[in-house]
Amino acid sequence: MGSFIKTYFDKLLDKILLRWLKRRAQGILLNEVKVWGDPGRVHIASTAIVHNALFNTVSGSIRVDEFAFFGHNVSVLTGTHDVAKKDLERQNSAPGEGRDVVIGRGAWIASNATILGPCTIGRNAVIGAGSVVTTDVPDNSFVAGVPAVLIKALSP
């Protein structure tokens, strides 16, 4: 009987420990910011909320201003390649600068959105989920779609 109880509690402890480890791993992954390029080119205000975002700084810097916030899986990309080139030459054709991205104060970038530099997302702008932003977004506006287009102006 003692062996049965020990085996039962060992299995129960293993199950509890495994559940805790999974939750811990999910928490870490959902808050992990990934940077492709120089991390010194990413500037995130202390009041901004950025979840598991990808920042590509190969071709410019990225600034996230105060009170801006992201949904999950947002990509902010400064990098690009020369489509006129081929093979290895295309792979190595990313410019080193000039494609900066600024996310303005209070902007909301919804889950799975992609921001392609160079561009500025205006103050209090909203980017719809899954949108691809390829141009500047005015202050107090809501854009969505692929590519993102103005859906409506928001009250200032």
Active site residues: 81
Q: Residue 156 corresponds to which tokens in the numbers above? A: 């200032």
C-alpha dihedral, 33 to 70 to 140 to 148, nearest 10°: 90
Cα angle, residue 119 at apex, residues 86 and 88 outer, rounded to 5°: 15
3-state secondary structure 57-105: CCCCCEEECCCCEECCCCEEECCCCCCCCCHHHHHCCCCCCCCCEEECC
Rounded CA separation 17/14 (Å): 5
Task: Identify residue 33 by its one-letter amino acid code.
Answer: V
